[in-house]
Amino acid sequence: MSSRTSDNTPSHRSTRSLRSRLRPPSSVRRPSLYLAAAAAGAVLIGTATTGETPAAAEPAAAVSIADQLGISAEAGESIEDQIAPLQDLAASRSERESEQIQATKAQRAAEEAARKKAAEEAAAKKKAERAAARKAAEEQAAREEAERQAAEEAAAAEAEAEASEPAPAAAAAAAPSGSYQDYAMSKLGGDSSQFSCLESLWGRESGWNPNAQNPSSTAYGIPQFLDSTWAGTGIGKTSDGYRQIDAGLIYIDSRYGSPCGAWSHSQSTGWY
């Protein structure tokens, strides 16, 4: 029998069929495939040389090829063992990607919460500032209204006092004359030291101008009294410079004891 003829024998065809069925993927078992091919060639050569019948050679060839290829349950386990690390790697990568996505979502949620909190705090602060400004305006209006009422009451008291004063002839005889500084000096009993303090105090407040008006408050006259201060002196708010000096000295005496005491306080605080 020639080698060409032996290639078509049932034994050889069975061997090739079995090898095709049992052959593992080339990417996994390429070295075993080479070894199995070599073993199969050896078996076929042995079969042709010894002249064994196809029926007798077939079982031996099948067993030999299976053994040489190592196709068994162990081969399947070997493939899984080789694939398992790749599967673990893919699972680990998927897990990391999932964790990264969750971390990104958590960070965005935290940033959004922080922006919302900042906006709420800014709105609350602005609301509180508006409320404080409104309250301050209401308190200022209440103070001004109280001062206005006090001025009206003082004016009414002054009118009542003037109504009870002596006849015009006697009043004219008692009317002061001379400069406001001379009048103040006389009211201080000629004390030049106290007058010097008073002159400095009212010189800074009004320049001794009985019509001086503070543009930002109700302060008026030589002593620059608020409407409420006028009421406390018992003398109503007036444009009469001499009466303003009387009211000013009454206030200074009751509050600071002397013009120098008032001037010292004004120098340290800016007001008296």
Q: What tokens does 169 get?
A: 């002839």
C-alpha–C-alpha distance, residues 122 and 126, integer Å: 6
Residue positions counted in the chain: 272
β-strand partners of 225: 220
pLDDT of residue 81: 64
Half-sphere exposure of 65 (CA within 13 A, CB side): 25
For the chain, which domains are there? 3-71 (no CATH), 178-269 (1.10.530)
Backbone φ and ψ of 213, nearest 5°: -130, 125
pTM for the whole thing? 0.39
pLDDT at position 174 is 57
Which run of H or E residues covers position 86? helix 73-163
* Residue 5 reports pLDDT greater than 60: no
Render pLDDT for 45-65 as a digit per residue (tens, 0 to 9): 444 444 444 444 444 444 555
Q: How confident is the model at residue 89 (pLDDT cuts 50, 70, 90)?
A: confident
In the Cβ-directed half-sphere of 184, how many Cα atoms lie within 13 Å? 28
Instruction: State pLDDT tens for residues 100-113.
Output: 898 888 899 999 99
User: Could you give the C-alpha distances from 90 to 27, 83, 101, 104, 228, in angstroms and in order?
Assistant: 19, 11, 16, 21, 87
| Rounded Cα–Cα distance for residues 198 and 186 (Å) | 12
Top pLDDT among 25 and 221 is at 221
